[in-house]
Amino acid sequence: MTVPDDTGEVTYGTYLKVDELLRLQQPRSTPEHPDELLFIVVHQASELWFKVLLHELGLLIDHLRDAATVPALHTMRRVNALVRIVAGQLSALDTLPPQRFAQFRGYLGSSSGGQSVQFRSLEAMSGLRDEHFLAVLREHGAVPAALQRALELPTLQSLFLALLERHDTTLEQLYLGPGPTSEFLLAEALIEYEQGFQLWRYLHVQLVERIIGPDTGGTGGTLGARYLQHTLRQRFFPELWDVRRRFFEGAAPGR
């Protein structure tokens, strides 16, 4: 364990608050199940990455509002790297067999991943506004203030389209034009973000089905894998996807 420095000097342990951080993993099973620590750490680590992602999406919104394409591209490079990390760490839970999860599942109480305010805020900031999404949020009671603020923000798609207008171009011109521009690269980075997010969703669905089965209800009375399967059809950037159809149909420029 890290020993506090009596001189007040900033050390690795004090800067990162390692002692406090390592005290946050508190399994509830009695006797403590050997796999519960892994379960807690993966979810706590996800929440830490969600915090960074929300921070970066806040910066992205500022760049899009300023029509600053290159800074937005730089931010998207980091966002997409973070999404890959969040998706990749799910593989640790692939090592959790159903029978072992069943041994401590009852200690989770009513907790459910759907209660993650940060994850819901990521979905909202990214562009989800459909009635099904809003209904799911209301199922958990009053919408938390942080999530409500995310819902009140303009969507990333609307901000990107506004950026194109300020740069006197359209989606069709990005894809029908003579070659890639910085705006085109930003559009593709947004698509990469959605693909990465959907990959996380898919891996999450597969993980849930692998551990509790496709038709078993989730913790906290949720629909489990059945609800997660529905989320695979959600889109953050429907217009960025649809422009491909118009491209191959030979549509004239114009939104």
Q: What is the pLDDT of residue 176?
A: 83
234 or 122: whose pLDDT is higher? Answer: 122
Decide if 190 contacts 163 (C-beta within 8 A).
Answer: no
DSSP tag of 4 = P
Decide if 107 contacts 138 (C-beta within 8 A).
Answer: no
pLDDT in tens, 126-185: 999 888 888 888 887 889 999 999 999 999 999 999 999 999 999 999 988 777 899 999
Q: Which pair of tokens denotes residue 228?
A: 């997660």
pLDDT over 50 at 255, yes or no? no
Per DSSP, helices labelled H in 11-116 are 12-16, 18-22, 36-65, 69-88, 98-105
Q: 146 CB contacts (<8 Å, ≥6 apart)? A: 117, 118, 121
What is the CA angle 71-197-73, rounded to 5? 10
pLDDT over 60 at 218, yes or no? no
pLDDT over 50 at 6, yes or no? yes
pLDDT in tens, 224-237: 556 666 667 788 99
Q: Which pair of tokens denotes residue 173?
A: 């011109």
95 or 213: whose pLDDT is higher? Answer: 95
DSSP tag of 181 = -
Q: 244 CB contacts (<8 Å, ≥6 apart)? A: 175
Lowest average pLDDT, out of 7-21, 30-44, 136-150, goes to 136-150
pLDDT in tens, 62-85: 999 999 999 999 999 999 999 999
Q: Which CATH class is domain 36-248?
A: mainly alpha
Q: What is the pLDDT of residue 198?
A: 93
